[in-house]
Structure 1
């Protein structure tokens, strides 16, 4: 069994062949609870929610659920998008960095969102920024500036 899953309630619906009721955060948490019940080694479930406004303007938020903790970031605006390719990988790298640094759900979600958002400003399929720039984006507190 996996320890970390990058997916959301739609993925769990397909995986468990079970629909989840409710709306928004309640439906996502219900799916996470089902995942934790089904997969005993699963410790982290992480996902993003993207709302495209135009091709170069999106709203983005991140969510990380642990067995005993969870955090949903506020939605941020991403404008003047240069390249979306690799933004999901950047999100995963941020979540994994937060996890390896012993962070809680909030830190993992904030780092994932920051790295995802920053990737949109670069050409190519991977994020090539030093950690100091990521920390600067988050205000070095884990809070993504809005």
Structure 2
């Protein structure tokens, strides 16, 4: 069996599993109470966004000494993504019910804001370094 056939069989199995699981997921009844979840969704989304910002910042900082616009564009992207993550984290922290440790996402939101500030500093350093070499 070639690799092409193996990959297509694996993809067909995954899609078949999704098709078979969809009707079962549609049968799940919604709980009668008013709560729509634990409230951690916003803080998890903020953490994912700021971690992407950290990755972009590190990558831009590594390439900031080289010529070209790639480092500058990466640094700007890191700053924008970090700011977006900080805003999402602040909104999630402001709307979280209960205190830190109650399971409503306030701790994750605070962590997202702190990691977002780290991403912002990394992006700013890369932006300053790319301006210096340009």
Bigger fraction of residues in helix:
2
Question: TM-score if structure 2 supplies the norm length?
Answer: 0.23
Normalised by the length of structure 1, the TM-score is: 0.21
Higher strand content, 1 or 2: 1
Determine which structure has more spread, i.e. the larger CA radius of gyration: 2
Q: Which has the higher contact order (CA 8 A, sep 6+)?
A: 2
